[in-house]
Amino acid sequence: MSACREIALLRELRHVNVITLIRVFLSHNDRKVWLLFDYAEHDLWHIIKFHRAAKANKKPVMVPKGMVKSLLYQILDGIHYLHSNWVLHRDLKPANILVMGEGPERGRVKIADMGFARLFNAPLKPLADLDPVVVTFWYRAPELLLGARHYTKAIDIWAIGCIFAELLTSEPIFHCRQEDIKTSNPYHHDQLDRIFNVMGFPQEKDWEDIKKMPEHPTLQKDFKRSNYSSCSLIKYMDRHKIKPDSKAFHLLQKLLLMDPNKRITSEVAMQDPYFQEDPLPTNDVFAGCAIPYPKREFLTDDDQDDKSDKNNTRTNQTNNGGQGAQQGGGGQSDQSNNHSSHGGPNAAKRVRLSGPPGHQPTGQPSNIQQPQQQDFHHPHQQNMMFQSGNQQQQNPTFQQRFQ
């Protein structure tokens, strides 16, 4: 049912920052469904990993400020479109935020993996009741972890705040030890502990409805407010050299409010002063510069057959024939199941091929300016199953871009 629901939604959705479903293929012999998507060379998981590796090697290379702003704006624009059409994504994380490579839509964000998406024009059951599978907790809003029965689009906003913080610091803000658990119980002690260690324990005056959460009695039993008295988002971000008086921090605070009723909306966030100061967001998040990031790995036919033998009820997603091809079985998407820590490459392996000829963008965010050329170089040649026609990148340095 996950694949059918995803197909139904994607056939109705048309936005420049939401992945486009090109075609659906049915394989009658093995009863599989293949979805053909736009071709995207990069995703935020690999982009952040690139910068985190440089940081670990004591050669800090942070994501450029202008690139962070452009990424965030386009994510908000895509989510605003979904929310305006009564769709919750419910599984936003770096691995599900794709970025287009060389081509007409170069540097364009594409929100992908709608397998958990739901219409919210009617009351919803809790996420865990509907989908009792292993999913990444790091981007889960606190109301979900406390068993909220009627959650809202604010859960997507919290996830965007987590992604924003990760882009600013190159580290997942609410990283915690994660077990491979399969349960219908949404409560997760370690994840809540990590949130409180960063944000502090929520005051009842700041989140009045916390007492109405189904897991509030468990929260009171397991946690002591005094253990988190010295914790705050200001202190956490200051350790990462993000000052509390910066516009980036002010927006982050609004995205990560504990009370979902007070959390900023995507529409209001797009009008935040952060996006009105230089550098302004651009259509091309790479700002017209050479792309330093390696392309995502591809899944061969042999690997895919092996994976299908292990679990033929899961959904495998690949990029094929210049777009992405997602294989739909009877279960949930592998993008939320395979990489327990942070929804990484094993969560969405793709076959990497060239983009469709003559494919043009379908729209543009409202206040985005044209990119300016900057120095941003790195090799990113990748072997393809078919000839892609992309030219091989040279190997100059990219130090000026990040200094």
Q: Round to whole Å and give the CA distance between 123 and 347.
A: 29
Alpha carbon distance 320, 256 (integer Å): 36
Residue-wise DSSP of 103-166: STTTT-EEE---TT-EE-SS----HHHH--S----TT--HHHHTT-SS--THHHHHHHHHHHHH
Cis? peptide before 357, omega within 30° of 0: no
- CA-CA distance, 348 to 162, in Å (whole number)? 20
Q: What is the 3-state secondary structure (H, E, C) of 337-381?
A: CCCCCCCCHHHCCCCCCCCCCCCCCCCCCCCCECCCCCCCCCCCC
Task: Name residue, tokens 């009877």.
Answer: 330
Total residues belonging to the chain: 403
What would the two tokens of residue 396 be? 């100059």
Cβ within 8 Å of residue 187, ≥6 positions away: 145, 146, 147, 215, 218
Which of 43, 91, 113, 334 is flagged as catalytic? 91
Amino acid at 297: E
What gap in Å lies between CA 130 and CA 148, rounded to an integer? 13
Decide if 97 contacts 109 (C-beta within 8 A): yes
Q: Which residues contact 386 (CB under 8 A, 6 or more apart)?
A: 321, 353, 354
CA 260/CA 209 separation, integer angstroms: 9
The four Cα atoms 207, 212, 216, 220 give a dihedral, to 10 degrees, of 70
Whether 305 is catalytic is no
Q: Is 21 helix (H, G, I), strand (E, B) or coil?
A: strand
Catalytic residues: 91
